[in-house]
Homo-oligomer: A and B are copies of this chain.
Amino acid sequence: MATSKAAPARKPLILVSNDDGITAPGIRNLIEVASRVGDVVVVAPDGPQSGMGHAITIGNTLRLRPVDIFEPGIRAYECSGTPADCVKLAKREVLGGQAPDLVVSGINHGSNSSISVLYSGTMSAALEAGIEGIPAIGFSLCDYGHDADFSHTLPHIEHVIRQAITHGIPAGVTLNVNFPPIGRGPIKGIKVCRQARAKWQEEFDKRFDPRGQEYYWMVGKFVNMDRGEDTDEWALANGYASLVPCTYDLTAYAAMPTLNAEWDLPHATHA
């Protein structure tokens, strides 16, 4: 399979983004790890963008401001847009059209395993890079706390980044890596997994504002319908980090012959 490999001659250029915002502890940890491997440029949202999915800003303006909150030598910018906007702006404006060797996103405060990949701003930054043909990885910790402890994930993240630089990532593929929280003990290993068949079952907490008008808070419960032992959910529940190769080609190929056989669709009368 063709792989998109980073050039080995010089220090790799690594672009870092996230969805929790540029001041989140998770991105600070990721920058520290990425700096051990390559030259780091950061473009991340200026505020929380969790749950933004693959949103982009098309009906509004975008701001990009340099920030000086990391170690010396780290070029960093905060962006008013979504995680996908950050990657687009980074490539075109910050890097002047030069593609980085690798894009890493995270470390997310909270799980992006299974169906959460679709809602994830962290993964949308990585997938946006993937669409551009750039090797990219999203990292997430299954702990939503602002004060989450990332320490047990850092050697594994460095290892995965080095593997990506050395071996490349298969063309058209973006990696979604999730880690169990530190309380579960040492990480047993990193498993290549498929996305578990699961969903968020929403409940809505209905309240009334001071003017008597109703409003809702969305609250969700994660429901795993998948008993497979080759899924990300199984790996995380059993002490492993999960690594799911993701595609941005949503075509359900297996359904194409079914639809052609069962459905009556109009054909060309004058093709």
Residues of A whose CB lies within 8 Å of any CB of B are 1, 3, 48, 50-59, 61-64, 84-85, 88-89, 92-93, 115, 117-119, 124, 127, 131-132, 156, 159, 163, 167, 170, 172-173, 176, 187-192, 194-195, 197, 199, 202-204, 206, 213-218, 239-240, 243-256, 258-260, 262-271
**What is the bound-complex CA distance between A84 and B271, given in angstroms?**
38
A258 partner, pick from B61, B156, B170, beta carbons under 8 A: B170
Given contact pairs A93-B216, A170-B255, A195-B249, a sample of 11 additional A-B residue pairs in the complex whose CB atoms are under 8 Å apart: A3-B262, A50-B59, A51-B58, A53-B84, A55-B55, A61-B216, A84-B119, A163-B264, A188-B269, A188-B271, A189-B271
* A206 and chain B: residue at smallest CB distance: B93
CB <8 Å contact, A218 and B173: no
Say yes or no: A55 contacts B58, CB within 8 Å.
no
Minimum Cβ distance to chain B for residue A118 (Å): 5
Query: Is the Cβ of B260 less than 8 Å from the Cβ of A251?
Result: no
9 contacts between A and B (CB under 8 A): A50-B59, A54-B118, A62-B215, A63-B215, A64-B214, A88-B218, A170-B255, A243-B265, A245-B251
Cα–Cα, bound, A163→B249 (Å): 25
- With A192-B256, A265-B190 known as contacts, the answer to whether A53 contacts B56 (CB < 8 A) is yes
A3 neighbours in B (Cβ, 8 Å): 258, 262
Residues of B within 8 A of A254 (CB): 1, 170
Given A53-B54, A53-B56, A55-B53, are A217 and B268 also a contact pair (CB < 8 Å)? no
The answer to whether B62 touches A51, judged by C-beta atoms less than 8 angstroms apart, is no
Give bound CA distance, A42 to B81, whole Å: 30
Residues on B with beta carbons closer than 8 Å to the beta carbon of A89: 204, 216
